[in-house]
Amino acid sequence: MARDAVFDAWHSAWALGDVLATTRAPAAQWRERQAQRLVRLVEAAAEGSRWFRERLRGVRPGANTQALLAQLPVTHKRELMARFDDWVADPALKIDALRTFVNEPARRGEALLGRYQVWESSGSSGEPGLFVQDARALAVADALEAARGPVSLLGAALPWGAAPRIAYVAALGGHFAGVVAFERLRTLNPWFGASARTFSFLQPIDALAAQLDAYAPTVLASYPSTAWVLAQAQAEGRLAIAPQAVWTGGETLTPGLRRTIAEIFHVPVRDSYGASECLTIASECRCSRLHLNADWVILEPVDERGRALPEGQVGATTLLTNLANFVQPILRYDLGDRMRFVPGACECGSTLPVIEVQGRCDDVLSLHDRHGRAVHLAPLALTTVLEDDADVFDFRLCQRGAQALTLEVGTRDGTGAAQRERAGAALRRYLRAQGLGAVSLRLSARGAPRLGRSGKQCRVTREP
Ligand SMILES: [Zn+2]
């Protein structure tokens, strides 16, 4: 079926030229663009969105970026979704019609009202969201992907002139951002349609392996945990593909996952960081560091009380401002992810800030030592201990009280008992080093995996 895709040739050419010009420029250039774009977004939100109009009264856009941000309210998905029709800047967009739209699988990737791409978020953080992009917002996302995304690093890996065969292994059931973006590119570009295919990761591993073997991808794109499962299948001889690169996104790529995937497939792993609220937040450079697309995106790590944190510190959450979307303004939006700005310059030469993101759906654990003092453990640290010190990747660690943890490793049929003991010993060592020797740790076999609706795995969780 022929269908329209949301696309504007003029904006796409302009955005690509602008992003390319800023990618290697001095920091002053992205700072200037960020400042101008924030003023424009605030003005557009006050003009077009009834919800923001009420809240932006008295805001003075003449101030510098930090001073302007400080005047803006922090926004949360729950309150915005509750007032969706007032939040969006086009009165033709109605929440009820959007809900009907995303409940029809056959319409995935279709242009709503002939001009909007729509996707849903999985609701792994409790509240599903609906996100609308027009051609201008998508032109920026396309440009960021083309100029800074993993595809920009692919040229050297492929024989000259060869078209890639990209296998995108993901949850295909809903209107999720990755799949909708994929369908849109396939509609837009005949070459992309011929060089990319989607595969459902929910099928049995041997069926998936057979499909991938038949397709023989040059690029494997998936969540880090799924790429790891496929790497295990490759190591066991159940999968035999020879990709030139592995692209990951959607979950945290820990150093251990990266190393294992790269070693088994003998290729570089390229990670990127995005969200339903902003498709391309940061992309990895050749030095394997995530650079924030600061000309189009503002991230603010903040503490539990919403206060800004200095460079280097991991926040309790992160506020996102998407400078490209005027239809559904995302301004100081509580993203729920935890990240930090990494001090210092990157060897690749880019002046765009380097960020480090903690687990997407993982929780920070807050345990009490023997004196009742809280000790916070970052999920990235805990996964690194289990991956690097115990060589265990498939686990679930759950906090069940101020001084109680359970660690699930291996299956109930008895496999993985040695892994379980190794993981337990490594974790106990780590806890003692944090002053948490009094915390009880119960080891058990794994129950059913805990997945968000988009299929993302949570390995470190805290019971409410
Ligand atoms: Zn770099």
Do 88 and 132 contact (CB within 8 A), yes or no? yes
**How close is the Cα of 286 to the center of ligand 1, in Å?**
6
Q: Worst-scoring range by mean pLDDT, 18-22, 58-62, 353-357?
A: 58-62
The mean per-residue pLDDT over the stretch 91-111 comes to 92
**How close is the Cα of 429 to the center of ligand 1, in Å?**
34
Highest-confidence segment of 6-15, 408-417, 423-432: 423-432
**How close is the Cα of 244 to the center of ligand 1, in Å?**
21
**How close is the Cα of 148 to the center of ligand 1, in Å?**
11
**How close is the Cα of 261 to the center of ligand 1, in Å?**
21
**How close is the Cα of 270 to the center of ligand 1, in Å?**
12
**How close is the Cα of 47 to the center of ligand 1, in Å?**
38
The mean of the pLDDT values for the chain is 88
Cα–Cα dist 136/11, whole Å? 6
**How close is the Cα of 11 to the center of ligand 1, in Å?**
27
Nearest CA to 177 out of 279, 88, 246, 271 is that of 279
**How close is the Cα of 345 to the center of ligand 1, in Å?**
8
Q: Worst-scoring range by mean pLDDT, 39-48, 53-62, 453-462?
A: 453-462
> Which pLDDT score is estimated for 109?
84
State the SS3 of the chain: CCCCCCCCHHHHHHHHHHHHHHHCCCHHHHHHHHHHHHHHHHHHHHHHCHHHHHHCCCCCCCCCHHHHHHHCCCECHHHHHHCHHHHCCCCCCCHHHHHHHHCCHHHCCCCECCCEEEEECCCCCCCCCEEEECHHHHHHHHHHHHHHCHHHHCHHHCCCCCCCCEEEEECCCCCEHHHHHHHHHHHHCHHHHHHEEEEECCCCHHHHHHHHHHHCCCEEEECHHHHHHHHHHHHCCCCCCCCCEEEECCCCCCHHHHHHHHHHHCCCEEEEEEECCEEEEEEECCCCCEEECCCCEEEEEECCCCCECCCCCCCCEEEEEECCCCCCCCCCEECCCCEEECCCCCCCCCCCCEEEECCCCCCCEEEECCCCCEEEECHHHHHHHHHHHCCCCCEEEEEEECCEEEEEECCCCCCCHHHHHHHHHHHHHHHHHCCCCCCEEEEECCCCCCECCCCCECCEEECC
**How close is the Cα of 353 to the center of ligand 1, in Å?**
9
> Which pLDDT score is estimated for 10?
87
> Which pLDDT score is estimated for 192?
77
**How close is the Cα of 287 to the center of ligand 1, in Å?**
5
pLDDT at 222 over 70: yes
| pTM summary value | 0.82
The mean per-residue pLDDT over the stretch 69-83 comes to 95
**How close is the Cα of 176 to the center of ligand 1, in Å?**
29
Cα–Cα dist 278/141, whole Å? 8
**How close is the Cα of 68 to the center of ligand 1, in Å?**
29
pLDDT at 49 over 50: yes
Nearest CA to 73 out of 87, 59, 90, 89 is that of 59
pLDDT band (50, 70, 90) for residue 453: very low
pLDDT at 45 over 80: yes
> Which pLDDT score is estimated for 455?
46
**How close is the Cα of 341 to the center of ligand 1, in Å?**
13
Half-sphere exposure of 257 (CA within 13 A, CB side): 27
Residue 29 amino acid letter: Q
Q: Worst-scoring range by mean pLDDT, 347-351, 378-382, 385-389?
A: 378-382
CA dihedral (428, 432, 436, 439) positive or negative: positive
**How close is the Cα of 364 to the center of ligand 1, in Å?**
27
Residue of higher predicted confidence among 386 and 359? 386
**How close is the Cα of 224 to the center of ligand 1, in Å?**
20
Q: Give strand pairing partners of 15.
A: none
**How close is the Cα of 442 to the center of ligand 1, in Å?**
41
Q: What is the pLDDT of residues 113-133, one digit of tens each?
A: 999 999 988 655 556 799 999
**How close is the Cα of 285 to the center of ligand 1, in Å?**
5
> Which pLDDT score is estimated for 1?
40
Burial class (CB in 10 A: 0-12, 13-18, 19+), 93: buried
**How close is the Cα of 324 to the center of ligand 1, in Å?**
23
**How close is the Cα of 218 to the center of ligand 1, in Å?**
24
pLDDT at 402 over 90: yes
Cα 387 to Cα 213, 223, 412, 455: the distances in Å are 28, 17, 21, 21
**How close is the Cα of 352 to the center of ligand 1, in Å?**
8
pLDDT band (50, 70, 90) for residue 73: very high
Cα–Cα dist 162/417, whole Å? 46
**How close is the Cα of 248 to the center of ligand 1, in Å?**
17
**How close is the Cα of 192 to the center of ligand 1, in Å?**
27
pLDDT band (50, 70, 90) for residue 464: confident
**How close is the Cα of 258 to the center of ligand 1, in Å?**
17
> Which pLDDT score is estimated for 2?
43
**How close is the Cα of 438 to the center of ligand 1, in Å?**
41
Highest-confidence segment of 1-5, 108-112, 377-381: 108-112
The mean per-residue pLDDT over the stretch 36-56 comes to 96
**How close is the Cα of 351 to the center of ligand 1, in Å?**
8
Domains in the chain (CATH in brackets) are 9-357 (3.40.50.12780), 365-462 (3.30.300)
- List all residues 6 or more positions away from 265 whose beta carbon is below 8 Å from its beta carbon: 220, 231, 234, 241, 242, 243, 246
Q: What is the pLDDT of residues 335-370, one digit of tens each?
A: 988 899 999 999 999 999 999 988 556 777 889 999
**How close is the Cα of 333 to the center of ligand 1, in Å?**
26
**How close is the Cα of 290 to the center of ligand 1, in Å?**
7
**How close is the Cα of 284 to the center of ligand 1, in Å?**
7
> Which pLDDT score is estimated for 456?
53
Burial class (CB in 10 A: 0-12, 13-18, 19+), 70: exposed
And the tokens for 120?
Answer: 């849903």
Q: What is the pLDDT of residues 268-311, one digit of tens each?
A: 999 999 999 998 999 999 999 999 999 999 999 999 888 999 99
> Residues 391-418, buried b or exposed e (16+ Cβ, 10 A)?
ebbbbbbbbeeebebbbbbbeeeeebee
Do 139 and 5 contact (CB within 8 A), yes or no? no
The mean per-residue pLDDT over the stretch 237-249 comes to 95
And the tokens for 222?
Answer: 């998936």
Say what percent of the chain tops pLDDT 70.
92
Q: Using alpha carbons only, how large is the chain's radius of gyration in Å?
A: 22
